[in-house]
Amino acid sequence: MSAEKNLSVLRHSAAHLVAQAVLEMYPETLLTIGPATQDGFFYDILPQVSLKEEDLEKIEQRMHELADKNFPITHEEISKDIARKIFNDNRFKLQLIDEIPGETVGLSRQGDFYDLCRGGHVDRTGDIRHFKLLGLSGSYWKADKNNQALQRITGTAFFTQEDLDTYVKQKEEAALYDHRRIGKQLNLFSFHEEGPGFPFFHPKGKLIINLLIDYLRQRQTELGYKEIATPIMLSDELWKRSGHYAHYKDNMYFCTIDEREYAIKPMNCPGSFLIFGERPHSYRELPLKLAEFGTVHRHELSGVLHGLMRVRAFTQDDTHIFCTFEQLEEQIIEVINLTHEVYTRFGFKINVGLSTRPANAMGSETAWDQAIDALKKSLVAAGIAYVLQPNEGAFYGPKIEFKIQDSMGREWQCGTIQVDLFQSENFDLTYVSSAGTKERPVIIHRAIYGSLERFFAILIEHFKGQFPFWLSPVQIRILTITDDQKEYALQCIAACQEAGLRVDFDRTSDPISGKIKTAQIEKIPWMVVIGKKEMQHGTVTLRYADGTQEPNISLADLISKAKRLAAQ
């Protein structure tokens, strides 16, 4: 049994333990399901009276008492008839019994507690020692909001106290640097009841988004990408043709205008295809790299919305590269290198996965093999190690997935490079080859940031709000000791602005210590302090966010130093 499997056995056993404790304390409670999750477990229950956060401590205490009793945990197979009698007062378990295939179901026991379960537990309740209940939230039976509302107790368990402590510390750190909290503190963005899940970017937040776009746009231009823009809203027929209607209808927004049905785009791809297909192409034009910073709308359930991490409208750095099969490898290498360069600039570690042919694949096996081969060769040529993810490709082609690891050790899936073997046929896209024949281009779908909103959220948490100099909305703040230095301060500001630096001036009458405090809260990387002495000598004192100082630098030196840093 692998360590991971072991951990999920332990956590699922901890879910039974929480259920046992809850039933002892609140006997009228109906239990539903209690699986292990990626980093813990949950149990969804229907109590007689809703539980409150403060009840968790008592439940946790009772779990420890049950662990101390060290009951053996046993498992047996029983007939469905017997199971129906045992669970006759629990409509959820009765439904589960009906849904389980076969004539028997599993029953686990510990002390006088029993639960419907297919098995996979630790031997005794005493094996479950290092656990913590993490919270209480709402859920629905079978995760369907039309069903009975339930309460979810979430927790985690580890084999050692040390592992549990580390996990709890990481959780606390993550909560401390939650992008929603920092976003408010730094005045970057907000959400309003008038548009649930639709972010509002404030000037400083929008500035950072623009800097991210500017950076990528400049690199793309250098690599010969052409930027396009396609409509937010397109006719229903288009989405039916692209397959989005069939696969994605439940997440799309629709409207009717002049008795014609339209959908708000959930993806940018079909817009690019219409542009490519609009006129004949020669092989000489390929590769054609059509880039779009395209805003898409996807209807997500309100329960899964999470700050900028999960929103209903977001902008993708989408590119569709139309090329020949022969060009596929070099194009993919170029995209891999660009992706690598972008992530490295932010200091992320990168893990790469290659997803291959799924069961529902479209197109010939030969084409798939060729495409997968090209992806593998490109990864090797770019010197990137990867993990093979068998059968995880999309139905229309294989893909490379980039996962970035942030400063708190968490992994986020962001960029993808996807080879499309289907849509050029579907949209009848062609080019004329050097031999004069009509051929289908291969399409590469590529995104590096993925969703700019989500990438921004990841950056906020990764940098803990302290953005690098080039991304800081305000790079330099001028602070004067008294109002006497105001004229000189204005000269300094003008010189910094002239050099293209983002600078502002604390005009309050606060003492210098207060001005420094404010700049620290706003996480401004450079403070330039000006007093009587600095004014007399025509210099400034540079104070960094970490409190270290460089006194007596000339304005010219300050500016050249800042410009160097801004270019990094």
Query: Has 370 been annotated as catalytic?
Result: no
Cα 106 from Cα 96, distance rounded (Å): 11
Residue 442 interacts with Zn ion (CB under 5 A): yes or no: no
Cα 112 from Cα 519, distance rounded (Å): 61
Which CB atom, from 8 or from 108, has the smaller least distance to Zn ion? 108
Query: Has 316 been annotated as catalytic?
Result: yes
Residue 11 interacts with Zn ion (CB under 5 A): yes or no: no
CB of 199 to Zn ion, least distance (A): 22
Q: Length of the chain, please?
A: 568
Residue 228 interacts with Zn ion (CB under 5 A): yes or no: no
Distance in angstroms between the alpha carbons of the first and the last residue of the chain: 47
CB of 445 to Zn ion, least distance (A): 3
Query: Has 298 been annotated as catalytic?
Result: yes
Cα 121 from Cα 108, distance rounded (Å): 9
Which CB atom, from 117 or from 212, has the smaller least distance to Zn ion? 117
User: Does residue 41 sit in helix, strand or coil?
Assistant: strand
Residue 117 interacts with Zn ion (CB under 5 A): yes or no: yes
CB of 526 to Zn ion, least distance (A): 40
Q: Please name every residue paired with 412 in a beta bridge, in sequence order, or none if there are none.
A: 404
Residue 414 interacts with Zn ion (CB under 5 A): yes or no: no
Residues 6+ apart with CB under 8 A from 420: 396, 397, 442, 443, 444, 445
Query: Has 64 been annotated as catalytic?
Result: no
- Find the binder of Zn ion among 445, 454, 462, 515 (CB under 5 A): 445
Q: Give me the half-sphere count of Cα atoms (radius 13 Å) on the Cβ side of residue 528.
A: 32
Residue 56 interacts with Zn ion (CB under 5 A): yes or no: no
Site for Zn ion in 86-115 (CB under 5 A): 108
Distances (CA, A) of 464 to 387, 458, 459: 29, 10, 8
> Total number of residues binding Zn ion (CB under 5 A)?
4
Catalytic residue among 130, 320, 376, 454: 320
Residue 421 interacts with Zn ion (CB under 5 A): yes or no: no
CB of 320 to Zn ion, least distance (A): 6
Structure tokens at 398: 């294989």
Catalytic residue among 44, 110, 151, 269: 269
Catalytic residue among 179, 399, 477, 543: 399
Query: Has 75 been annotated as catalytic?
Result: no
Query: Has 250 been annotated as catalytic?
Result: no
Catalytic residue among 265, 298, 477, 515: 298
Decide: 527 and 543 in contact? Cβ < 8 Å.
yes
Query: Has 462 been annotated as catalytic?
Result: no
Catalytic residue among 12, 130, 445, 477: 445
- Which is it for the CA torsion 550, 555, 557, 559, positive or negative? positive
CB of 494 to Zn ion, least distance (A): 46
Residue 444 interacts with Zn ion (CB under 5 A): yes or no: no
Residue 357 interacts with Zn ion (CB under 5 A): yes or no: no
Residues 6+ apart with CB under 8 A from 449: 212, 216, 316, 317, 342, 414, 415, 455
CB of 117 to Zn ion, least distance (A): 3
Site for Zn ion in 268-297 (CB under 5 A): 269
Rg of the Cα atoms in the chain: 29
Q: Measure CA 224 to chain center.
A: 29
Which CB atom, from 117 or from 479, has the smaller least distance to Zn ion? 117
Which CB atom, from 6 or from 433, has the smaller least distance to Zn ion? 6
Concatenated DSSP letters for 371-412? Answer: HHHHHHHHHHHTT---EEETT-SBTTB-EEEEEEE-TTS-EE
Which CB atom, from 447 or from 528, has the smaller least distance to Zn ion? 447
User: Does residue 197 sit in helix, strand or coil?
Assistant: coil
Interacting residue ranges for Zn ion, rule: CB under 5 A? 108, 117, 269, 445
Active site residues: 269, 298, 316, 318, 320, 399, 445
